[in-house]
C-alpha cells in the first residue's frame, strides 16, 4: 500500500458523494478558500504537487489551469475527525478567488499581503529607483539593515547572495512536504 493510499484509508466522509471539505491556506496560514476533494483529486494533487480539487459541477479542477493562478502544493493535513482536509499551498497569480482577490473572504491583510506587495515592487522597480536600490546588494558581507529585516519576514526577497547563504530562495519556509502523505 502506498503512503497516499494509507493516508486516504484513514479519511472519512459523511457525504453521500464521498467528498471531503477542503480548506486551502497559503504558506502563511491565510485562509484562501474552501472547496472539495475526493480520492481522484487527492491522487492528482500529490502526483503533480499542485492544487487539484473536485468541483461538484465540473469534476476534476486543476486550480489555475485557465486563470494562471496556480498553486504549488506544500502539504496536506487531515483534521482530528479525519473528515476535513487542509491544503497548504504557495499561491501564484492574482490569488485563489475567481473575483481576482487573494482570498474568497475578501482581501487579506498582514504579513502575507506585505510580502506580496514587497515582492511585486521589487520585481517592477525601475532601474535606479529608491525601491530598486533598497534591494540591491551593497556588499555580500554588509547587506543593508532594511533588507535583512525584509528578508527575515519574506525570505524570497533577500538578495541572491543572502538566499544562497540561507540555503536558497525561500529558505526558512517549510520544505515541500506533499510527499509526506503520498
Question: Domain coordinates of the chain in residue numbers?
Answer: 3-107, 111-165
Cα separation, 153 vs 111, in Å, equals 8
| Predicted confidence (pLDDT) per residue in 67-110, tens digit | 999 999 999 999 999 999 999 999 999 889 988 888 898 766 77
CATH 3.40.50.300 fits domain 3-107: no
> Is 132 in a helix, a strand, or coil?
helix
Grade residue 176 by pLDDT with cuts at 50, 70 and 90: very low
Decide if 176 contacts 49 (C-beta within 8 A). yes
Compute CA 61 distance to the chain's CA centroid, rounded to the nearest angstrom: 17
d(CA 114, CA 18): 38
Least confident of 61-75, 105-119, 157-171: 157-171
Predicted TM-score (pTM) of the model is 0.65
Cβ of 165: how many Cβ atoms within 10 Å?
A: 13
- Name the 3-class secondary structure at 23: strand
What residues does 21 pair with on adjacent strands?
Answer: 36, 84
Amino acid at each position: 500500500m502506498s503512503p497516499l493510499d494509507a493516508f486516504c484509508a484513514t479519511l472519512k466522509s459523511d457525504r453521500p458523494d464521498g467528498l471531503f471539505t477542503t480548506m486551502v491556506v497559503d504558506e502563511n496560514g491565510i485562509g484562501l478558500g474552501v472547496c472539495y476533494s475526493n480520492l481522484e483529486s487527492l491522487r492528482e494533487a500529490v502526483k503533480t504537487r499542485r492544487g487539484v480539487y473536485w468541483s461538484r459541477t465540473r469534476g476534476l479542477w486543476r486550480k489555475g489551469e485557465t486563470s494562471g493562478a496556480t498553486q504549488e502544493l506544500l502539504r496536506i493535513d487531515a483534521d482530528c475527525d479525519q473528515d476535513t482536509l487542509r491544503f497548504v499551498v504557495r499561491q501564484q497569480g492574482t490569488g485563489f478567488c475567481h473575483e481576482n482577490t487573494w482570498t474568497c473572504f475578501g482581501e487579506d491583510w498582514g504579513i502575507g499581503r506585505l510580502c506580496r506587495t514587497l515582492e511585486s515592487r521589487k520585481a517592477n522597480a525601475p532601474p535606479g529607483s529608491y525601491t530598486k536600490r533598497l534591494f540591491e546588494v551593497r556588499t555580500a558581507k554588509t547587506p543593508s539593515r532594511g533588507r535583512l529585516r525584509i528578508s527575515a519576514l519574506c525570505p524570497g526577497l533577500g538578495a541572491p547572495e543572502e538566499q544562497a547563504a540561507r540555503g536558497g530562495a525561500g529558505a526558512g519556509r517549510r520544505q515541500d512536504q506533499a510527499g509526506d502523505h503520498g
